[in-house]
């Protein structure tokens, strides 16, 4: 890894008296108002000047609408902290929209190659709205025409309309050592760690005792001077202590010895993780999710019947329990997977955390928090052990035979049973899907999660036709209708299944045959 700093945050509970708690809770209110004012000013600068600004002069601060009042309320030092936090959030948001812009340009067939190249240059320079800056082509040095710049601006406007701008109405505080100091206790034995925090009263600082736990105490690395002060949904105050773990992670990567180059995994809810080697992990996940779904849906239904809002302390507590269990289970399984198999690379599908047996509310919660937890853990494995990962397209991976490549919906008879109707190959359906994902890693079509499902199907059937020419239908019909060639009805071999007439070997016929199913 090339990152010079890798940070991890541990949220520690506080033990404050009512007076200190009231002083701490006054800070987030003014902090969030200042963040909203700074965000409005930064968006104005983005559309006017083409970018965000972390450092502003005194005259620029006063000229910005709303920022001067926020400075008077929150203070000059805290306003600078707010600006750094806001600019970092907005920069991350624009970076994601930059990827959306590139995806639209790449898949649009109306643009010629030269126009796509110009649009990508404008996108890389983030010059969608800044017309005062001249952008030239890197290969020829010619300036990009105005009509292409206008097209880039219209595309980016369309992208921004599809996503809501980040809101800072519930933002937590990120405070550096100018207003917060973390130190060990001098005399106290009950609370070994204390935070000295500045309040809104000028010159007043309060001491906040923190409650560390063994996982935090055993974390190796250098404690940072910046802390987070979080006001959670449950109303509890927590202090996020940030640790730079770059050195211990570098040591872990140096000692990590991979035993295999690639490991492909299929992620689901009935079975959390299925590996191409045949391992099944998290088999009771769906049963536990159904129990949590029943509890959450019951609370929501009763409150709706009473004419109340669904959100309540009891509902929030149940959702937090679900998210905590999901994150813990994902981390446990992936840690176990790396410990046992020691892969150098992981091939995973582009995740969609949904299950037809769960409610819409539960599927929405799983989609929101499941993807984030899974990708965060994959990033952690890359930083901790150097295990890289690739996302491939998941379309038809559960209907394709990993043995011969034939794609058909009826190949998968149930959630766990897979039997190819072409070659008769049998195995667990999730393991078969994991092997298909591993084979897609080197394919430019099926390995690209941005391609359409139709393109993935066409490529799968084309590969089937090239890899395994089918026997004519007459050969399959001459076999015994009830048994294989050796009298074993369950035998898996490279021949066609009993009594199955296979389609022609032409790719266009294969596509048409699969489209009818």
φ and ψ of 193, to 5 deg: -130, 135
Distance of CA 131 to the CA centre of its chain: 34
Say whether pLDDT at 473 is over 70.
Answer: no
The pLDDT value given to residue 245: 94
The mean pLDDT value for 453-463 works out to: 87
pTM of the model: 0.77
Residue 355 or 230, more confident: 230
What mean pLDDT, rounded, does the chain reach? 83
- The pLDDT-based confidence of 498 (bands split at 50, 70, 90) is very low
Say whether pLDDT at 335 is over 80.
Answer: yes
Say whether pLDDT at 493 is over 80.
Answer: no
For 205, other C-beta atoms within 10 Å of its C-beta total 14
CA 197/CA 207 separation, integer angstroms = 7
The pLDDT value given to residue 249: 94
User: C-alpha distances in angstroms, 6 versus 2, 180, 374?
Assistant: 10, 21, 18
The pLDDT value given to residue 150: 92
Say whether pLDDT at 1 is over 70.
Answer: no
pLDDT digits (tens, 9 = 90+) for 138-184: 888 889 999 999 999 999 999 999 999 999 998 999 999 999 999 88
The pLDDT value given to residue 282: 84
The pLDDT value given to residue 425: 85
**268, 376, 270: which is closest to 331 by C-alpha?**
376
CA 514/CA 407 separation, integer angstroms = 7
CA 420/CA 406 separation, integer angstroms = 7
The pLDDT value given to residue 101: 93
Say whether pLDDT at 234 is over 80.
Answer: no
Say whether pLDDT at 196 is over 90.
Answer: yes
CA 132/CA 195 separation, integer angstroms = 48
CA 60/CA 55 separation, integer angstroms = 10
pLDDT digits (tens, 9 = 90+) for 99-142: 999 989 988 878 888 899 999 999 999 989 888 888 888 888 88
* List of E strands, 263-422: 263-267, 273-275, 280-281, 345-349, 388-392, 417-419
Contact 52, 84 (CB under 8 A): no
The pLDDT value given to residue 94: 94
φ and ψ of 223, to 5 deg: -70, 130
The pLDDT value given to residue 73: 87
Q: What is the dihedral of CA 98, 104, 105, 106, to 10 degrees?
A: 110
The mean pLDDT value for 336-356 works out to: 86
Say whether pLDDT at 2 is over 50.
Answer: no
């Amino acid at each position: 890894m090339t990152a010079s700093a890798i940070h991890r945050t541990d949220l520690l509970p506080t033990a404050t008296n009512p007076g200190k708690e009231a002083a701490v809770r006054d800070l987030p209110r003014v902090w969030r108002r200042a963040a909203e004012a700074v965000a409005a000013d930064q968006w104005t600068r983005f559309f006017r000047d083409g970018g965000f600004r972390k450092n502003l002069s005194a005259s620029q601060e006063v000229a910005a609408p709303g920022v001067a009042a926020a400075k008077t309320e929150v203070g000059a030092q805290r306003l600078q902290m707010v600006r750094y936090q806001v600019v970092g959030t907005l920069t991350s948001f624009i970076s994601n929209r930059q990827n959306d812009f590139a995806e639209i340009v790449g898949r649009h067939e109306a643009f010629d190659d030269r126009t796509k190249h110009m649009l990508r240059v404008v996108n890389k320079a983030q010059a969608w709205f800044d017309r005062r800056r001249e952008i030239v082509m890197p290969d020829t040095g010619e300036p990009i025409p105005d009509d292409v710049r206008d097209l880039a601006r219209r595309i980016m406007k369309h992208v921004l309309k599809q996503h809501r701008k980040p809101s800072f109405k519930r933002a937590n505080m990120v405070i550096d050592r100018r207003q917060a100091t973390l130190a060990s206790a001098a005399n106290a034995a009950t609370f070994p760690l204390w935070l000295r925090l500045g309040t809104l009263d000028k010159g007043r600082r309060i001491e906040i005792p923190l409650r560390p736990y063994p996982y935090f105490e055993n974390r190796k690395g250098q404690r940072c001077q910046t802390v987070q002060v979080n006001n959670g949904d449950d109303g509890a105050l927590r202090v996020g202590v940030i640790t730079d773990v770059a050195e211990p992670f570098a040591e872990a990567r140096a000692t990590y010895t991979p035993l295999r180059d690639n490991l492909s995994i299929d992620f689901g809810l009935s079975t959390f993780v299925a590996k191409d080697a045949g391992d099944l992990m998290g088999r009771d996940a769906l049963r536990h999710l159904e129990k949590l779904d029943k509890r959450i849906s019951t609370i929501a239904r009763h409150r709706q019947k009473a004419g109340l809002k669904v959100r309540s302390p009891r509902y929030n507590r149940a959702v937090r329990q679900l998210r905590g269990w999901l994150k813990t289970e994902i981390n446990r399984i992936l840690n176990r997977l790396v410990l046992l198999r020691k892969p150098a690379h992981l091939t995973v599908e582009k995740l969609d955390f949904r299950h037809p047996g769960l409610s819409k509310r539960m599927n929405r919660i799983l989609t929101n928090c499941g993807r984030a937890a899974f990708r965060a853990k994959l990033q952690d494995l890359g930083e901790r052990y150097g295990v890289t990962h690739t996302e491939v397209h998941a379309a038809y991976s559960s209907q394709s035979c990993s043995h011969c490549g034939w794609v058909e919906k009826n190949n998968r008879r149930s959630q766990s049973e897979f039997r190819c109707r072409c070659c008769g190959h049998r195995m667990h359906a999730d393991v078969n899907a994991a092997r298909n994902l591993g084979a897609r890693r080197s394919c430019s079509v099926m390995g690209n999660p941005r391609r359409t499902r139709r393109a993935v199907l066409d490529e799968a059937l084309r590969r089937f036709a090239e890899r395994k020419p089918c026997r004519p239908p007459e050969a399959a019909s001459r076999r015994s209708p009830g048994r294989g060639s050796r009298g074993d009805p369950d035998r898996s071999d490279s021949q066609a299944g009993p009594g199955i007439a296979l389609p022609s070997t032409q790719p266009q016929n294969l596509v048409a045959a699969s489209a009818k199913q």
